[in-house]
Chain A
Amino acid sequence: MPTEAVISLREVTFSYGGPPVLEDVGFSVGPREAVCMVGPNGGGKTTLVKLVLGLLNPQRGEIRLFGESPRRQRRRAGYVPQHIQYDPRFPVSVMDIVLMGRLGQGGIRGLTGWYGRDDRRAAIDALEQVGMEPLRRRPFSALSGGQRQRVLIARALCCRPELLLLDEPTANVDTAVECRLAELLAELNRRMAIVMVSHDLGFVSGLVERVICVNRRVAVHPTSDLTGKTIHELYGGEVRMVRHDEHTPHEHADG
């Protein structure tokens, strides 16, 4: 069933014990689609990602990942959390982290978690895709914000995902890194569905077809509809929008 929705939510309500963080949320994401979740801090974007991955359970409603419960199917998803949440002094190399994407396989090796040659090959492959292979022996702590971001993307790619979920991929990275990231995601989108959380409307506008606005409730807009008015309603204030059009023409030339 190649056309089955990768993610579908119906009437989902969730709270952490207090008032609902998300209420009556419904949307779906198709295969090879790229969507972005935008919305104010505390609006429920990260919560929504965790619900989709089965890390949280909704009080009401139904969540389907590849047509089944998220817990059963989440290994088909690659998750890229925000890189700033990590302990910068953790003694771990780039390769150590990317290999974590190969954990949780069956058999005796799945039990102990030891890696084989094929696991290393897959990790190097994933690092090559994000252009980080030459730095694979570096300590994670010695990397810049953008490099850490790419290592975490490589870790997610190492899972051979059919869906990539990224939480704030542009947090704390500069504009040049953002542009390279946008190119990488556009490339990956040819093979997999992409869902990302971002504050950065300029970053997403060239990349995604639809924007999911999350602020307790959810509204879905095609990217072309994103105007100053909808953004104003969403954030309740003025938001500066940066156009990134100047970085995309080479794609048109290729096509």
Chain B
Amino acid sequence: MVDFLEALNDPAVAFLRYALLAGLLASVSLGVVGSYVVVRRITYLAAAIAHCVLGGVGAAVYLQQTQQWAWCNPMFGATAAALLAALVIGLVSLYAREREDTVIGAVWVVGMSIGLLFFYKTPRFVDPMSYLFGNILLVSARDVWMVAAMGAAVAAFGLGFYNKLLAVCFDEEFAALRGVRARLYYLLLLCLTAVAVVLMVRVVGIVLVIALVTLPAAVAGHFAQRLWQMMILAVLCSMACVFAGLAISYPTDLRPGPTIVLIAGAAYLLTAILARLRTTV
């Protein structure tokens, strides 16, 4: 623990400080969005969106190298792919006559496959593992600024339209009857989820990020009686998981992404047991 705190001040391992900052900042928007995702029960959609991010990252890495498009960096590709996936998955879940889960499962794997093919066609080898499971060595000061700016935007939308999003999540039909464009807000929610997911890709990766969307909100759900309370608790829980995960993984040389996720999982298990004991006693 002392090692970890000292390392945070050590200029030689600046990435650790950046990773912690990015993780804590991303926790804010993830806690807000994750609470909506959990109460609206669209974890599955959020997971599909997160996995499609690999398609965008792969395409961006490929284009950056082969076309010399410097602006086309992996985070740009990730954001574009996440938003596209959010809209496709959202529209499918709203309008498709097909079995919804089948189509969403298909979008999920197609997005990943596109990404993997791009990775393998990229001339200079880039390891997809960094994006799948996170790699804090890649976090730069610029990333921290990007996470702060985009996270602030997501939180502003998520909190600014709180009443409408709450109404749409609780009872879409009634919200529509009151003149709220329920489908539009549902798509907005999926787009906010998409951006929030991208913010955590550097730290925990595409595959593991869904744990930080749902588990902190699920932990908070055991204690919160209002949605905004759930959001505050989820943000704090997510921050605690990120901090503890980095603090444990740094001196022990474990990978930070899986460590953070395991802590979040343990927190969920613990609070679920506590909640059960409280109701049965």
A interface with B by C-beta (< 8 Å): 53, 55, 74-75, 77, 79, 81, 86-87, 89-93, 96-97, 99-101, 103-104, 110, 112-115, 139, 155, 159
Contact = CB atoms under 8 A, between A and B. Distances in A.
Contacts of B180: 103-104, 113
A159 B39 contact: no
B9 interface: no
B95 to A, nearest CB: 14
Contact of A86 (B41, B171, B175): B171
Interface in B230-250: 230
B125 to A, nearest CB: 47
9 contacts: A79-B173, A79-B177, A90-B169, A92-B226, A93-B226, A96-B227, A103-B178, A104-B179, A112-B163
A77 B174 CA distance: 11
A124 to B, nearest CB: 17
B229 interface: yes
B177 A75 contact: yes
Contacts of A97: 170
Interface in B149-194: 160-164, 166-167, 169-171, 173-180
B221 to A, nearest CB: 6
A91 B231 CA distance: 11
Nearest to A50: B173
B114 interface: no
A86 B137 CA distance: 45
Contacts of A96: 166, 226-227
A155 B225 CA distance: 19
A103 B167 CA distance: 9
A159 B224 CA distance: 28
Given A87-B39, A91-B221, A103 B173 contact: no
Nearest to B164: A113
A112 B185 CA distance: 11
B162 A113 contact: yes
Interface string B101-125: 0000000000000000000000000
Contacts of B224: 91
A77 B173 CA distance: 13
B82 to A, nearest CB: 25
A45 B172 CA distance: 20
Contacts of B177: 53, 55, 74-75, 77, 79
A100 to B, nearest CB: 5
Contact of A113 (B39, B163, B171, B225): B163
A90 B170 contact: yes
A89 B220 CA distance: 12
A180 to B, nearest CB: 23
